[in-house]
Amino acid sequence: MVYVTRKAHFSAAHRLYNPTFTDEQNERVFDKCNNLLGHGHNYTLEVTVRGIPDPATGYVIDLKILKDILDHVIIDKVDHKHLNYDVEFLRGIIPTVENLCVAFWQELEPNLPSGTLHSIRLFESDQNLCDYFGEPVELPRWTSAEVPTHLPSVV
């Protein structure tokens, strides 16, 4: 088995917030990450696909094709966006690095033309990262009625 990885970068804002918590609970649990208007990260995403190289091409998956799929399915939708409000497939989830990995997997996996998705590694900073290998994980998702659909207005 051979493993190939494509790396991508994006910048985005998020706010960690659980709508069923009180303001005090949100502040205690999420601390600075609960900042009302959000805060930003420069993310690095690494997607690894495994398989046997095609004898005719030597490719598990053409990395140019993987790049295009990654851009289309994830990067174009999240880069320079607020992950709580602007991204349809992230609606209602708490955008931690863990939950983002799971959500990205769900978007990417059905769109791979060859090979098998092996792992998604997401760096939120140089120090903080998450690995996900596709084991079943329940991704709690609140409805639009429960979470705000746009930034609060601050007067």
- What is residue 75's three-state secondary structure? helix
138, two tokens: 């329940």
Alpha-carbon gap, residue 45 to 129, rounded angstroms? 10
State the nearest-atom distance from the C-beta of 11 to Ni ion, in Å: 12
Cα(151)–Cα(155) distance, rounded to whole angstroms?
12
On whether the CB atoms of residues 19 and 147 are closer than 8 A, the answer is yes
| Residues 6 and 73 sit within 8 Å (Cβ to Cβ) | no
33 is an interface residue for Ni ion by CB under 5 A: yes
From the CB of 150, what's the least distance to Ni ion, in Å? 19
Binders of Ni ion: how many residues, by CB under 5 A?
A: 1
Q: At closest approach, how far in Å is the CB of 131 from Ni ion?
A: 18
Query: Of 26-34, 42-50, 74-82, 143-151, which segment contacts Ni ion by CB under 5 A?
Result: 26-34
Q: Which of 27, 33, 118, 130 is catalytic?
A: 33
Residues that bind Ni ion (CB under 5 A): 33
Active site residues: 33, 80, 124
